Amino acid sequence: MSAILNAILSFFESIGLIYDPSIAPQFSSYGKPFYMSFEGLGIGWFKMNPVAIPVGNGIRWYGILITLGIILAVLYVTYRSKQWKYNFDDLLDCVLVVVPVGVLGARLFYVFTADGFDLSEWYRIWDGGLAIYGGIIGGALAVVSMCLIKKMRMLRLMDCTAPAVMIAQSLGRWGNFCNGEAFGAPYKGLFRMGLSHSADGSGAFYVHPTFLYESMWNLLGFILINLLYKKKRFDGQITLMYLGWYGLGRFFIELLRQDSLDITFGSQSLRISSVIGFLCFVICTVLIIVFAVRPKSPALSMPSYYPGSKRYAEVTGQVTENENAEQSEQEQAEADGNEKPEGEAQNEENAPEKDQIGAENEENIQEPAAESDETADPEQ
């Protein structure tokens, strides 16, 4: 048994899954301008400044690109959710909750797993440190909570959101490019990225541009998933495809990273993002196969809101029980308002008789007056 375990550990070490986290990356920009190149692609040395606008602590390209990624994600969710008749106000409420919770989850995941950080620094995002898996977990929990509150189909909304996350990740990775971080192991091939503190490239380090690999992987996955979206057979399928696709790519790409987060088992340190990515790929692939071979889910033809929700009547054209009750109460109130007291009703019924009696009395009063006129003395 120990021989098998040692063989597995040796294999993990050979592919880079087990590594020494104490070995620092060969290059760091320290948040200051630096120089980079892609000489294999014909791009010489050029200056890169992580700070886009020098105001306060500095508005960084990283933050700008992540913000643009979030905006693109929201636009995509808005577009995709129209076919499922989700209300825009509900989606906006979800965005206002999901985005900050996702950022908080990404930060907490990083603080708990990175060396040199403690929980008291959970809010210092400007010092760097966000982990995408924490963002996915936090965002997913926020989506679940909002779906329960607004009675929306959770897996269906996640299917609208998953491709949006991919396009946001694809753009957000270029923030790592602007920071000169998240690069890979030494590499001198076609796609090598040069990093240096000198304009002439002296003392340069050539590494794998892992930010570029992951950005292109997410972009390709976004395109493929959208091409297959119409063939969706059950709610949750797109989410599983996203997690499986991203997990597979992240497993291999993370093996190249020099700044990978680690999880320790005894004396061994494993790349936690690679482990999670591999598990996501295996589990999601199995679930897709299991559910895809079944007949198409009838739930796909059901409304995106559950009965009793505020929006159910809007998407189905039906009246909810609450609306029925309100309508009945309104009709009852109108009926009660039209009904008059019994005495008043009797008075109205007797009104014609009173009018007739009054008319007869008037005639009787007028007749004596006429007679008196006839017998009156003309000379008087």
- Indicate the residue type of 349: E
Instruction: Kindly provide the b/e burial profile for residues 113-139, where b requires at least 16 CB atoms within 10 angstroms of the residue's own CB.
Output: beeebeeeeeeeeeeebbbbbbbbbbb
- Counting Cα atoms < 13 Å in the Cβ hemisphere of 178 gives 18
Residue with the larger pLDDT of the pair 121 and 73: 73
Distances (CA, A) of 283 to 200, 278, 290: 48, 9, 11
Q: Region 225-232: what's the mean pLDDT? A: 94
**CB-based burial of residue 67 (10 Å sphere; 0-12 exposed, 13-18 middle, 19+ buried)?**
middle
Residue 119: which pLDDT band, with cuts at 50, 70 and 90? Answer: confident
Residues 318-367 pLDDT 10s: 654 555 555 566 666 666 655 555 555 555 555 555 455 555 554 544 44
Distance CA(288)–CA(293), nearest Å, equals 9
- Give strand ranges (E) for 252-303: 262-265, 268-271
- Looking at residue 367, its pLDDT comes to 46
CA distances from 111 to 108, 202, 215, 314 (A): 5, 34, 24, 44
CA proximity to 251, closest of 296, 284, 205 = 284
The sign of the torsion formed by the CA atoms of 190, 206, 196, 256 equals: positive
Residue 47: CB partners within 8 Å, gap ≥ 6? 33, 34, 35, 199
Query: Nearest CA to 110 among 136, 82, 143, 75?
Result: 136
Residue matched to tokens 């957000």: 172
Tokens of 41: 């692609």
- pLDDT tens profile 30-76: 889 999 999 999 999 999 999 999 888 788 999 899 999 999 999 99
What's the CA gap between 201 and 183, in Å, rounded? 17
For helices 88-113 and 61-81, the axis angle rounded to 10 degrees is 140
What are the pLDDT digits (tens) for 194-225?
999 999 998 899 999 999 999 999 999 999 99
Q: Annotate 182-217 with DSSP letters as a single string.
A: S-BSB--STT-EEEESSTT-TT-EEE--HHHHHHHH
0.85 surpassed by pTM: no
- The residue ranges of DSSP E strands in 55-178, in sequence order, are 59-60
Long-range contacts formed by 213-216: CB under 8 A, 24+ apart? 213/184, 213/249, 213/253, 213/256, 214/169, 214/173, 214/249, 214/250, 214/253, 215/169, 215/170, 215/171, 215/173, 215/174, 216/170
List the chain domain ranges: 34-316
With contact defined as beta carbons under 8 Å apart, do 187 and 207 qualify? yes
HSE-CB at 333 with a 13 A cutoff on CA atoms is: 6
With both helix axes pointing from N to C terminus, report the angle between 237-254 and 154-179 in degrees, rounded to the nearest 10: 30
Judge whether residue 243 has pLDDT over 90.
yes
Per-residue pLDDT of 77-105, as tens digits, reads 999 998 898 999 999 999 999 999 999 99
The position carrying tokens 């009945």 is 328
Contacts of 356 (CB under 8 A, 6+ apart): none
* Backbone torsions φ then ψ of 259, nearest 5 degrees: -120, 35
**271-282 as b/e, with b when 16 or more CB fall inside 10 Å?**
bbbbbbbbebbe
